[in-house]
Structure 1
């Protein structure tokens, strides 16, 4: 037995509630189950019950065993003093408030349908990556669509959470937030953290001042990233280094620190994915876009963005992957799949954050619409869903599946999933 199952049983009253009695044999009537409470304190707030002829308003706490009350040390926590009912699977110990009064307790072990318990256990004990895989065909397609959209919106808002740190003293700097999301996406997981740090250490307002010069943009980006603190043989990195030292001194109030070269990962990356190449590509993007926020949020168009982000690199990087290391000359244009990943991880989360911040639904619709215009990803998670006959028509579906898999299926949060709930009700 798990506590979250008892939460579900109480919330939706999935037990025999006829002729209810407390463990003290007092008649019990449930008027309001209360509202789930996820912060510290009792599990349900604002419940209303009647014991004998007295009506009580307060909180409900749920445990597997009544003795869990003491094990969790609720007896020392004042926030539990307004508990009017203790709902348990098994009553193994009488529990009292600090004033000595007995806490009314409802025992559920003989009141829950065994079929419901078995359905729940089937999901929880499933060895499949998707716990309901064997029952997936039974689920109504509309319910699946609803859960996919719910999971997708969650994913977008979760991804954009870090960008909120760009908002200081309630001043919402959407240019900086757009810049942060773009750099985070350019990390492609392996270098996501150093790129996010770069966005924090090198503000977009500085980037915008020098957007007319790719050379100065590269000096700023490579300098703040920690790539220019070496002695170089080639002329170009030495020129960048001199320019960086000049700009760092000029904006000394901004550049208090910089990243270390060792924070960047090159190992097991294809040369085209080296952070040096990604930074060179970013310099081209900043040179091209007058305003990231305008391009990403206000005038968003998926097809236009896919074309505009097809940037290359400056001349030096055509035959280099790292400073002072000559390579065969090659066009290092940002590839179609990389552009798609950048767009997926930048634009829709940013639109979702903006929609939530200004309470304007059209921007959330825009976020979902863009994902519907992009091809679905093909990875180990989408393959798990393909096996159970799930169609992926766009990135909308694949991104939703990733969230569903990671946040619901893997931790087996079936009771928080409309698909899981529908199977329990079946």
Structure 2
């Protein structure tokens, strides 16, 4: 009962703040007014939540190429992602879709249901009709025609510096961006294109690297400790350890990808997108850094969340406070749109140390930790260790 009361108060507080005069209407990015700038991720797989009661003006929805065009030339106007879009638009909610090439096994180079990949016909040279990929251009053009005059902003792909989301190179992604941009401009030139959003982790690593590159090792280490204060991985304990961390292959790859995008994105997008999960007081530093590197393009954050370790004291209360602070700071910094990723979001659990597996009649949460964590488990939950043996205790030490 106490937990339920807390969540009710949390939601009411958020809605009251977001409906206050402070959150006024922003100038429209395009011909469609975006209204107030805050929104939420739509993550429910079944049924329909009455989102109009959340007092949001925009929402993030994902469009998978494979769901909408499962075979070449078969465009499904009634596909699930498009149904969700249509419903939100009917409610007067601005949809900021994330279009991904995932699921289109017939069209892409590497087929994985959860990852996007460059189209098979993606070419290096620019074609005056379809840019770099005829198949992708035709798919995007159909989306643009269906939603002509109804969209203001479209995001292409999600966190392409991460292999689990994008199977191609950064250059291939830029060619995909160029193709999507041309398709939308050919149909509805008012639509703005945003990039996939560099992950919060990748921004932190690159900002630390940037300080190191300038010979500011002490400042780099200090910022590193601040930025990754709630990180789930073991952190470096000295500037020397941090230097070794930055030299790791996977970290170097992230740095190289981020640097490549920062050097080229401005030519391919109208709006810069970023993701952020860290402490609210770091948000102005990140925004200033992005503007310094890319210039004065409009900014959005289509993935704003919180990050606290599972054993943090009053974790939910801190998270609720942080999201309010982040929305307020985002408004003050002039962001054009912010999409809040709910802390208790079973479809996006990185901030909870969980991997969540959903089944028709149950949900399984798998927890892994590199430190000792104490969990209080619900009475109705069944608990098993990694040997497959049931654990009877309600208070579990991992």
TM-score by length of 1: 0.22
- Flag the structure with larger Rg: 1
Structure 1 or 2: more strand by fraction: 2
Which of the pair is proportionally richer in helix?
A: 1
User: What TM-score does the superposition give when structure 2 sets the normalisation length?
Assistant: 0.23
